[in-house]
Amino acid sequence: MQKEIIVIIGGPGTGKSTIIDGLVANGYCCYPEISRQVTAEAQKQGVEQLFLTNPLLFSELLLEGRKKQFQNALEESHKIVFIDRGIPDVVAYMDYIGDSYPSFFDTACKEYKYTKIFILPPWEEIYTSDTERYENFEQAKNIDKHLAATYQNYGYELIEVPKDSVANRILFILDKISK
């Protein structure tokens, strides 16, 4: 049985988590975005925005968490596993802020390969900020460009999910993976 590990990417506020929640509600195996978990843990320790305070440490924690998600996905009994953001997101965000990172970030992006990548475009009408999402919409658009370029640099073909209702976006994704 060929395991499909599918990643849903996009800048902040594009609807990734909502789509993941919808896929879960439809019985699909999905892994949530772990940066909120890492951020929440740091906040418990008194660091309001770990990504802004110590981007390299934050990114190393994300990288480890995303590698673990990939390994766990391989062991799932489900044929298809959806993940909210993948390993190359870490590199894209480091490039976005202009920070350097160790070569093992690049190695991980080459070593852990996903089956398909769906990208959600910036969508101002649904964009909102919250305690973990501090970027404004212009920054979100810039992050989107970095994500697309990074994934393409690692050889991925990006499938853009149209701006539509959550149900139709999910149908679009499911249609693209059944072919």
89-113 pLDDT, tens digit per residue, is 999 999 999 999 999 999 999 999 9
- Average the pLDDT over 75-98 and give the result: 95
Task: Reply yes or no on whether the pLDDT at 49 is more than 60.
Answer: yes
With beta carbons less than 8 A apart as the criterion, state whether 118 and 176 touch.
yes
| Architecture, CATH, for domain 4-177 | 3-Layer(aba) Sandwich (3.40)
**Short-list 92, 82, 141, 142, CA closest to 116:** 82
Instruction: Quote the pLDDT of residue 25.
Output: 97
**DSSP letter, residue 127:** -
**Short-list 4, 25, 19, CA closest to 76:** 4
pLDDT band with cut points at 50, 70 and 90 for residue 71? very high
With beta carbons less than 8 A apart as the criterion, state whether 15 and 126 touch.
yes
**Residue 116 φ then ψ, to 5°:** -145, 150
Q: How far apart are CA 85 and CA 120, in angstroms?
A: 11
